[in-house]
Structure 1
Amino acid sequence: MSTTGLGSLPGDEIREWTKVLLEAVDIPFLAELPSRPYGDMLSRAVAVLNELAADLQPAGWRLTGGGDPRASLDQRRARSLLAEDLDALEELADGYTGPLKLQLTGPWTLASTVELPRGDKVLADHGARRDLAQTLALGLSDHVAEVRRRVPGAEVVVQIDEPGLPAVLAGAVPTASGWSKHRSVDGPGAVELLSLVTTQAPTVIHCCAARPPIEVFTKSGAAGVAVDISLLNNAAWDQIAIAAEAGTTLYAGLIPTTGALPNEEQAAGPLVRRWRELGLDPELLKKVVITPACGLAASPSPADARSRLELLRRTADAVAEAAENS
């Protein structure tokens, strides 16, 4: 069984975290440190948008007119920070071979968060949200190629973060006025744009919701789905079971991001129990990747976050033992 994290971590020391991640988890990843200016998940995505310009307003990121990315000082700063992080990764991962994960905000979460030049969300404009998704896919392609160049032994895995997609599908994203909601997007429409960003590398789509749209993720070409096990309702588990039996890898969020740490048996228990209740093959359980419930940026300290990452391996061993005994 493998372990990994879901992207965000506390603190601002990218070099220290890169060293830790190359040792602490089976699938190291390029950390997101949102406590730094331009270090959050949205800024990371804006940094890879090579053909769209955006600037940072008090309300968040907004696309700008003219189509010249060089016009945005904020975007250049976000790109500079990403380049610094890649420099650290290249140096510290010298000679590394194996899986290496990159995280990027997905097209639907980006469209429901980033504003158009006139002020409403990109989600409001069908053409604009497709342009954004296409540009994101092109930027991701360049990003993946850059990481492969810097770390030649890396087997790149891409994690697409879509925390906003359930609200998009439900028609629950407020309009600029706040008096109404944007029209809901249907499943095929959601698949269409997600499919643009699942072709650059093996892709896992992450969504912490009680009922993440697993079917949308798998139909878009995702090889894996990352979820918070503690939040899943029965309908979500039914979709997880179907996906697992079809060969989709489950990234199971078992370690809480804050609060008291469980022991490994307590952390493994909810996954193992539900797996048995659903009558799923124990051999499939051995293929699950163990993760924290979500990103660890809310952890009170880097030391606390590191303890949670260290618990991943012990939890994976407990899950593997339970699978052997099933």
Structure 2
Amino acid sequence: MSAMAYGLLPGQSIEQAADVIAGESEGARALPILPQRGVDSDALATTLAFIKELPVDLGPRGWVVQQRPQLATMRLRRRLRDDLDAIEAQWGEYSQLKLQICGPWTLLSAVELNNGHRILADPGASRDIAAMLVDATAQHIHALKQRFGAHEVVVHILEPAVHRLADGTIPGTSDFDVIAARSPKLLGEREHDFISQLRAHTEAKILLDVGSRPLMQMLNLAAPDALVFSPIAAWHWEHEQLDGLADWLGHGAIACTGSEDPRDRATAVLNLVRELGYSAETAAAAIMLDDPTASSDLLGASKVIAEAREASRMLQG
């Protein structure tokens, strides 16, 4: 059982965010991401910043792949370096870190090629850039271990795009750029390839986060170490989705988000696990994460991280 910060925090100061993470987290410390600083500071931008072979620039709809590094590319990389310098100054050496990245489906859906189409529309480019993401993440993890003297880096993969991909609702960049729906089977198999390769390079533990609505066939095929979801939201899932989660618990772990009262949250996790036919020991092995949308300031974020830590301790007994 452990508790970790989710990683997305409000505010503009990386130093203050690092201080909150250090003061309230338990176990692995999440490298903070501050999306309120702008489009070059969200999870997608932070991921693009360490893919050295993928120069990008900001276009009218978002990030666009370029032939060579642009000023925007250099700003992304400089911000990442400066942020890590500031975090290192706050933390010094620390043995366990948590790195949050955008997964391959979300990256390929959000970024355009310089011909005006999403990467996802080009199968060859999609394969190449997904491979770049594996290699770049592995290199980044190695650099983080050296910088912080860490022996473990947990990778928290964000894949908010998979639901729209499954539904076929991601728009193309023009009437001639149709993004076809992807089956949950294909989504899961490609995610599994990414996770397997990343594990082979780094031996990292992998959390997979697709938001509050599950896509259990995809998640079971992807086979991360833990699924990220809200235990409160899970009570509103359909029976098929709960059956999929029950199957998952036979061989995997769960990472639960939320900002509820610690006692209520611990009870919700315990009741859900028991309802699915598992013992209290399964609940006690859950990873607790705070809710990144629960706070508008760092003081509030500090409180919900502490609540996650307290819920973790309650489940441990």
Which amino acid in structure 2 is aligned with residue 318 of structure 1?
Answer: M
Partner of residue 10, structure 2: 10
- 1:238 is paired with a residue whose SS is helix
Q: How does 1:210-249 map to 2 (within 5 A)?
A: 210-211=213-214, 213-232=215-234, 233-234=237-238, 235-246=240-251, 248-249=252-253
- Is the Cα contact below 8 Å between 2:35 and 2:41 reproduced in 1? yes
Report the Cα distance in structure 2 between the residues aligned to 1:23 and 1:276, rounded to whole angstroms. Answer: 33
Mark the CA change 1:250 to 1:178 in structure 2 (over 3 Å): closer, same or farther: farther
Q: How far 1:36 sits from its partner (Å)?
A: 1.6
Report the Cα distance in structure 2 between the residues aligned to 1:133 and 1:173, rounded to whole angstroms. Answer: 19
Q: How far 1:147 sits from its partner (Å)?
A: 0.1
Partner of residue 107, structure 2: 110
- Is the Cα contact below 8 Å between 2:3 and 2:287 reproduced in 1? yes
| TM-score for the superposition, normalised by structure 1 | 0.87
- Is the Cα contact below 8 Å between 1:105 and 1:160 reproduced in 2? yes
The structure carrying a bigger helix percent of its residues is 2
- Is the Cα contact below 8 Å between 2:246 and 2:277 reproduced in 1? no
Q: How far 1:34 sits from its partner (Å)?
A: 0.8
Of 290, 297, 300, which residue of structure 2 is paired with 1:292?
Answer: 290
- Is the Cα contact below 8 Å between 1:171 and 1:181 reproduced in 2? no
- Is the Cα contact below 8 Å between 2:9 and 2:34 reproduced in 1? yes
Q: How far 1:180 sits from its partner (Å)?
A: 8.2
Which amino acid in structure 2 is aligned with residue 56 of structure 1?
Answer: L
- 2:288 is paired with a residue whose SS is strand
Q: How does 1:47-62 map to 2 (within 5 A)?
A: 47-62=49-64
Deviations 1:253-273 (A, max 9, x none): 132xxxxxx422222333222
- Is the Cα contact below 8 Å between 2:30 and 2:99 reproduced in 1? yes
Q: How far 1:103 sits from its partner (Å)?
A: 0.5
Mark the CA change 1:54 to 1:95 in structure 2 (over 3 Å): closer, same or farther: closer
Partner of residue 30, structure 1: 31
- Is the Cα contact below 8 Å between 1:214 and 1:225 reproduced in 2? no
Mark the CA change 1:279 to 1:191 in structure 2 (over 3 Å): closer, same or farther: closer
Partner of residue 319, structure 1: 315
- 1:133 is paired with a residue whose SS is helix
Partner of residue 259, structure 1: none
Report the Cα distance in structure 1 between the residues aligned to 2:263 and 2:25, rounded to whole angstroms. Answer: 19
Partner of residue 95, structure 1: 93
Unmatched segments (≥5 aa) in structure 1: 256-261, 322-326
Which amino acid in structure 1 is aligned with residue 18 of structure 2?
Answer: T
Q: Which moved more, 1:233-242 or 1:150-159?
A: 233-242
Identity of aligned residues (%): 26
Give the CA RMSD over aligned residues.
Answer: 2.1
Q: How does 1:119-138 map to 2 (within 5 A)?
A: 119-138=116-135
Which amino acid in structure 1 is aligned with residue 165 of structure 2?
Answer: V
Which amino acid in structure 2 is aligned with residue 32 of structure 1?
Answer: I
- Is the Cα contact below 8 Å between 2:228 and 2:254 reproduced in 1? yes
Unmatched segments (≥5 aa) in structure 2: none
Of 262, 277, 282, which residue of structure 1 is paired with 2:275?
Answer: 277
- Is the Cα contact below 8 Å between 1:254 and 1:268 reproduced in 2? no
Mark the CA change 1:117 to 1:180 in structure 2 (over 3 Å): closer, same or farther: closer
Mark the CA change 1:39 to 1:77 in structure 2 (over 3 Å): closer, same or farther: same
Partner of residue 162, structure 2: 165
- Is the Cα contact below 8 Å between 1:32 and 1:41 reproduced in 2? yes
Report the Cα distance in structure 2 between the residues aligned to 1:53 and 1:153, rounded to whole angstroms. Answer: 28
- 2:30 is paired with a residue whose SS is coil
- 2:35 is paired with a residue whose SS is coil
- Is the Cα contact below 8 Å between 1:95 and 1:153 reproduced in 2? yes
Report the Cα distance in structure 1 between the residues aligned to 2:264 and 2:218, rounded to whole angstroms. Answer: 31
- Is the Cα contact below 8 Å between 1:172 and 1:181 reproduced in 2? no
| TM-score for the superposition, normalised by structure 2 | 0.89
Report the Cα distance in structure 2 between the residues aligned to 1:95 and 1:292, rounded to whole angstroms. Answer: 24
Deviations 1:229-283 (A, max 9, x none): 333313333222222221x22101132xxxxxx4222223332222222221211
